[in-house]
Structure 1
């Protein structure tokens, strides 16, 4: 009986796998973000993912790398970002109670709930930036962000 050659050599297979890894295809990670402490189930929760220095603060909500809007259930919302390259990321979250796709504000501060990775509180003297808000993503990860109502 003759052995059938599938057209792949051992070195060719290793080269293919190496290219796969170099291109980042095999190294895509998943980030799950859970927002907790939502005061009601109205509207949506917007999760904005950032991957660059200078992208936070993002007052106009347009500097994000990826964004998801999800429904709320039992005071929580969850967004899953798949196929992310390894690197540094930060996440901002806001409870868009009236579903108008913007953070409503009083005189200065938001009137809707907000949250940011690595920030247990937000105020005028504790303004966010990417460096403080970011975290490494080297493998699949879950980040929890408690929503703050000011």
Structure 2
């Protein structure tokens, strides 16, 4: 019985492995506001409710940001540069973005935001580094 319990515990630990997601970010307006980063784990939550958030000052045009201990799995990342620090993604008429933004895989939408499937990335237990360019 102890052997079976140990095997179950070992299998649970293996499936719960986590790695770092490292984002290489480009096209930032240096010294203006902050980057609002969200990690999403499903199409249903994408761009609605992130499972992990990070806010960092926009210090330079190119930055590297790490999200540590992210369980291995499929995710999509969305971010925007909050130029006026109001913690909202500002838009113009008809929802056209007024602040720089980016999505994993540099996915783009047609007549709206990109879909989760276009933005999804797989983060293995050993972690992943991916590049995102912000659009104006």
TM-score normalised by L of structure 1: 0.76
* 1:144 has 2:131 as partner: yes
Aligned pair partner of 2:25 in 35, 38, 41: 35
Equivalent position SS for 2:44: coil
CA displacement, residues 17-61 of structure 1 (integer Å, 9 cap, x when unaligned): 872452348721110112211123211001100111222243xxx
Aligned pair partner of 2:65 in 79, 84, 92: 79
**Higher share in helix:** 2
Q: Which residue of 2 aligns with 1:23?
A: 13
Inter-CA distance 26–89: structure 2 relative to 1 (3 Å threshold): closer
**Higher share in strand:** 2
State how far apart, in whole Å, the 1-side matches of 2:45 and 2:77 are: 11
TM-score normalised by L of structure 2: 0.82
Aligned residues: CA RMSD? 2.5
- In the alignment, structure 1 segments of 5+ residues that lack a partner are 1-11
State how far apart, in whole Å, the 2-side matches of 1:32 and 1:55 are: 21
State how far apart, in whole Å, the 1-side matches of 2:67 and 2:11 are: 20
* 1:56 has 2:42 as partner: no
Equivalent position SS for 1:118: helix
- Give the CA deviation at 1:76: 2.5
Moved more, 79-88 or 100-109: 79-88
* 1:117 has 2:107 as partner: no
State how far apart, in whole Å, the 1-side matches of 2:59 and 2:132 are: 15
State how far apart, in whole Å, the 2-side matches of 1:20 and 1:28 are: 15
Higher Cα radius of gyration: 1
